[in-house]
Amino acid sequence: MILAVSVERASRERGFLSAEQAFDFLDGASEVLARSLDYEQTLEDVARLAVPDLADWCAIDVVQDDGSLRQITSRHPDPAKEELLLELRRRFRARVGGGAGVAAVVRTGEPEHVYDTGATPSADIELSDEERELYAKLAPRSYLIVPLITRARTLGALTLLSTRDGRHYGAADVRFARHLARRFALAIDSARLFEESRAARARAEFLVRAGEIFASSLDYEKTLQNVAEIAVPELVDWCTVQLRDEDGSIKQVAAAHADPAKVQLAWELQKRFPPDPEADTGAANVIRTGVTEHYPEIT
């Protein structure tokens, strides 16, 4: 009995990854991360690399600008189990909110680690009979979630799940995963800094060109059309300029689209459905109130 306990304690500390396996994976992951500044694609490639040697399921969640979590990649060799995992994860998140799982790891900056999940889910989590059946089909054995931290900021979390008998994550595996997560965080941070720099440069160039256009003509409608055209596609895919006319109506004076064929559509829409000057939203409301409207996502 004492020997069995000692063996289990040693296993919990050691984990299943050998030093050679860890170094080999780091080499492969480092090579993938260095290929591109498209961090979503590189993390997808790393997740593919992690399965099945490092995990039976790997997921990477990234914090968005509004604070929400976006799962940008996940990987499981069995598509049916992938669907089960995502469904259970969705229900779990809706039920526990930020009290556990990825949300808690991101909030606290501390890892979550379960060496042995057991044959049944924790009694702390209420599951329906259907959900217990899904859990049994997945047969999880062990998991760990570690934060993606760089420059004292948590950018997301890495989740590794084992569904294989005899493969349990130990303390050494958690340390390795945290080291790996730091590399992921650096890749995300570098890509975002590059994109911010590129966007700032594009805005500066636009302002210079727009200034030149404004100084070149006193025909304001022609000038605004030229400005709309240089905004597309570097800054936006679709740009229109609308002004209040002398009679109080809203008049569109410029339109540009990344797809030239759709420019005419913009003019047709304005003609067939002229804006109501008293509308509660849209250009009319912005002109009337002087308050910017911002829609991060249009569905």
- Residue-wise pLDDT for 72-131, tens only, equals 877 788 888 888 888 888 877 766 566 678 999 999 999 999 888 876 555 556 667 777
Give pTM, 2 decimals.
Answer: 0.70
Q: Is residue 260 part of a domain?
A: yes
CATH of the domain at 33: 3.30.450.40
| Same domain (yes/no): 161, 36 | yes
| Same domain (yes/no): 171, 279 | no
- Residue-wise pLDDT for 277-290, tens only, equals 999 999 999 999 99
- Lowest-confidence pick of 16-20, 153-157, 217-221, 281-285: 16-20
User: Where does the pLDDT of residue 5 fall: very low under 50, low under 70, confident under 90, or very high at 90 and above?
Assistant: very low
- Domain range for 50 is 2-194
| Same domain (yes/no): 126, 164 | yes
| Same domain (yes/no): 155, 243 | no
| Same domain (yes/no): 48, 96 | yes
| Same domain (yes/no): 166, 223 | no
162 exposed, middle or buried (CB, 10 Å; 0-12, 13-18, 19+)? buried
Length of the chain: 299
| Same domain (yes/no): 145, 18 | yes
| Same domain (yes/no): 126, 51 | yes
Judge whether 209 and 219 are in contact, CB under 8 Å: no
Q: Is residue 212 part of a domain?
A: no
| Same domain (yes/no): 182, 249 | no
Q: Is residue 204 part of a domain?
A: no
Give the number of domains in the chain.
Answer: 2
Q: Is residue 86 part of a domain?
A: yes
Q: Is residue 237 part of a domain?
A: yes
Judge whether 257 and 245 are in contact, CB under 8 Å: no
| Same domain (yes/no): 72, 137 | yes
